[in-house]
Structure 1
Amino acid sequence: MKALVKNGKKRTNVRLASFNGKEYHMILNKQRYLCRNCDCTCGAHSDLLIKNHTITNQVKDRILDLARESFTLSSIAKIVGVSPNTVSRLLYDNINLPSRCSRLPENLCFDEFRSVGNIFTFIAIDAETHHLVELIHDRLSKTIVDHFINKYSLSERQSVKSVSIDLNANYQMVVRRIFPNAQIIVDRFHIVQLCSRALDQVRIGSLKNIKDKHSRLYKALKSNWRLYHLPLAEVDDKNVEYVFGINEYTTIQNVIDIGLDQLPVFKEVYDTYQNVQQSLENHNINLLRETICGYKKNGTAMDTSISTLRKNLKHVENSCIMPYSNGPLEGTIGKIKKLKHNSYGFRNLDHFLKRITLI
């Protein structure tokens, strides 16, 4: 004689996934059973439902898909047709942050981003696959060093060949401490940005010294400042077009020459900026080394920029030799900023990091 016998049915209103914006429900009669040995009851289970829930796995998958698209909790709740608390419970209670990745990649990218309040969170990704490697709750050097040393063995850390960073000196110390065999790569964008800002400072300083605010020189430096940031390959010296600002028909090269011919110091800074930009674009390490080492100070902001590059010359040269950069990491941080913007910020750091892992 069987101990488990049927003991009626329980009527359950099951929430199904929506495909056209409308809510769909299924009335499910779940079979109940009685055990004659212990007088305990139990119910039948289905792969369609989450155990002890009236929500199907289809709804759960739909919630996770919308969360990966950076929707807010309230927006997901309205689309799926459940409460925001249900969405929060499915997202945050069922997701655990990994303590470490399964294997350290050979090439890494390091950076940080503002997460909750004034807290900056450290992030590392694989430079080749762009997969997330680490999320650490703050960017302090001690925290980063302790995390990698405690979570990864020395042999794992020795397998890392390169780390791409910005011009943050603290990260250089961190890389040397935890990855003894890794080459440090200074991101090419930050190198060009450093020289570009120095060029703008010299240009603005020259504008302040020009008394005639209606002269061709002032208009060329003021209204057409973007032309001085163009790579040499994009500067047109043949086609004549109407140039706003100076309001003349001329070539782009002639507009640039207006500022360079009358301001010798500005021309030196401009040539230095173009040489750095051209050497990085063409992977010309000889031109880069010649530009940085052969630079002569002229009392402008470019002196500080070149001095910074000269201190990090070996790491800057690696940016010419090796193909990796922080571009993929900046794209990842852009997605994180989009999530933070859509959600009007986060108050709980743990919830924020879990949403990032979903993306």
Structure 2
Amino acid sequence: MQMQPVRLEISRPRYRCATCAKISTPDLLFLDERRRATKRLVDAVRQRCLGMTFHALAEQTGVAVNTIKNIAQDLIVELEKTVRYETPVIMGIDEVNLAGDYRCVITNLATNNVFEMLEFRTQDHMMPFFEKLRDREKVEWVCTDMWRPFKRSFSPYLPNAKLVIDKFHVVKMASEALDDERKKYQSTLSKNERVHIKKSIRWLTLKRPGNLTPLETTALEVVRQTIPELGVAYDFKEMFFRIYDDPVKESAMRAFEAWENSLPDKELEKFHSLAKTVHNHYDDIFAYWDSPSQITNAYTECLNGLIKMANRIGRGYSYEIIRAKTLYAKQARKVGSGVRLLPGADSQVPTKVEYGPHIPTLIDLAEDGKFD
């Protein structure tokens, strides 16, 4: 009562029929049919089990943890049958390492909502999902990283979808190429020298010039004078980043060509690898400039961080539980969803639209300690 544990002791009379001698016991309609608990308590657990850790809810209600898990599993089965989210026009696909394996996370990038989480990221697992996807012709854009099985999985089944490689996965390779040059220099230093400068030089060179403080700008000039090779690598990293700063696709393509042609023949090996990667995914990378509002997978990456955090808090949650806590977060599901008239629908019959949990709302809940 009022979320305080209460134990009920009930005397149930039994009656014997004077005619047939059968014994009957009256039904207690307020009790759950499957558990030694009231329906009210089970309903309270159902309302809270996907928004709290099982152990915290068990302490609050006085119900065993395993009972909480069983109630949650029943709720998940019910939600699987009843909850349907709108198919995204702009879809984000990424992976997250969760409960011992890589899972596939799918988001709605047009509305910044969670859409689905698949148990595995293999083609054998993803292709049947896209084949059975409702309204799959609605998908116009898909944003992923450069892992080819993603494209192979969705392209046969999403006839109107065009792939755009996520910007941040591409520029990340430029940062990693620069960091590789830093490590080469540091390998020539003594142990004490490496400990002293490792962190400061790394973060200094990974920053964009516009984000440097006056003191850091001066420090970077010192690095250029003392380690000219690292200064050159920094400039190539920045030249690559500026490709994405260009608002015009044709100009950005020319900037990439100029960047590649200026690379030294026998140095900066990782930057040459980056150029090769861009050529291998050329059309999909430069589709970024064709996409609406130049889409990225940033919110999908944020969601992955939230999923990992929930997994740590839960200490051993199964994939199924983490998936349910992510997909069916009650408060975040309300944002952006509702009843409205959809294009092409009967104007007299409003349609209920639900897009899935709103990722920015999930972030706010996490910051308030409520995304468990």
* Alignment CA distance shift 1:165-1:201 (3 Å): same
**Matches for 1:19-168 after TM superposition, within 5 Å:** 22-24=4-6, 42-43=26-27, 45=29, 50=32, 55-56=37-38, 58-71=40-53, 73-96=54-77, 98=80, 101-117=84-100, 119-149=101-131, 151-152=132-133, 156-168=135-147
Q: Which runs of 5+ in 1 are unaligned?
A: 1-15, 238-250
CA distance in 1: counterparts of 2:246 and 2:18, whole angstroms: 82
For the residue of structure 2 that corresponds to 1:111, the secondary structure is strand
1:284 to partner: Cα distance:
5.5
2:348 aligned partner: none
Does residue 284 of structure 2 align to residue 315 of structure 1?
A: yes
Corresponding pairs, count = 318
1:183 to partner: Cα distance:
1.9
Deviates more, 1:253-262 or 1:178-187: 253-262
Give the aligned residue type for 1:116: A
For the residue of structure 2 that corresponds to 1:94, the secondary structure is helix
* Alignment CA distance shift 1:335-1:70 (3 Å): farther
Q: Which runs of 5+ in 2 are unaligned?
A: 330-372
CA distance in 2: counterparts of 1:127 and 1:85, whole angstroms: 37
CA distance in 1: counterparts of 2:44 and 2:256, whole angstroms: 54
Does residue 299 of structure 2 align to residue 335 of structure 1?
A: no
1:28 to partner: Cα distance:
7.9
Does residue 327 of structure 2 align to residue 357 of structure 1?
A: yes
Q: CA contact under 8 A between 2:130 and 2:158: conserved in structure 1?
A: no
CA distance in 2: counterparts of 1:234 and 1:352, whole angstroms: 37
1:245 aligned partner: none
2:253 aligned partner: 289
Residue by residue over 1:107-141, the C-alpha shift from the partner in whole angstroms, topping out at 9 and shown as x without a partner, is: 11111222333x32222121133433233222111
Larger Rg: 1
**RMSD after superposition:** 3.8
CA distance in 1: counterparts of 2:315 and 2:71, whole angstroms: 21
**Equivalent position to 2:201, from 217, 224, 232:** 224
For the residue of structure 1 that corresponds to 2:116, the secondary structure is strand
Give the aligned residue type for 1:332: L
Flag the structure with higher strand content.
1
Deviates more, 1:156-165 or 1:123-132: 123-132
CA distance in 2: counterparts of 1:58 and 1:281, whole angstroms: 57
CA distance in 2: counterparts of 1:330 and 1:175, whole angstroms: 20
Deviates more, 1:119-128 or 1:256-265: 256-265
Normalising by structure 2, report the TM-score.
Answer: 0.71
Give the aligned residue type for 1:163: V
1:260 aligned partner: 224
Normalising by structure 1, report the TM-score.
Answer: 0.73
For the residue of structure 2 that corresponds to 1:43, the secondary structure is coil
Percent identity between the two aligned chains: 17
Q: CA contact under 8 A between 1:207 and 1:221: conserved in structure 2?
A: yes
For the residue of structure 1 that corresponds to 2:182, the secondary structure is helix
Q: CA contact under 8 A between 1:34 and 1:42: conserved in structure 2?
A: no
* Alignment CA distance shift 1:90-1:210 (3 Å): closer
CA distance in 1: counterparts of 2:75 and 2:231, whole angstroms: 60
1:8 aligned partner: none
2:169 aligned partner: 190
* Alignment CA distance shift 1:135-1:207 (3 Å): closer
Q: CA contact under 8 A between 2:46 and 2:75: conserved in structure 1?
A: no
Q: CA contact under 8 A between 1:279 and 1:285: conserved in structure 2?
A: no
1:61 to partner: Cα distance:
4.7
Q: CA contact under 8 A between 2:175 and 2:206: conserved in structure 1?
A: yes
Residue by residue over 1:67-86, the C-alpha shift from the partner in whole angstroms, topping out at 9 and shown as x without a partner, is: 33351x23321122111222
* Alignment CA distance shift 1:340-1:163 (3 Å): same
1:87 to partner: Cα distance:
0.7
* Alignment CA distance shift 1:53-1:143 (3 Å): closer
Deviates more, 1:326-335 or 1:56-65: 56-65
* Alignment CA distance shift 1:91-1:146 (3 Å): same
* Alignment CA distance shift 1:63-1:45 (3 Å): closer
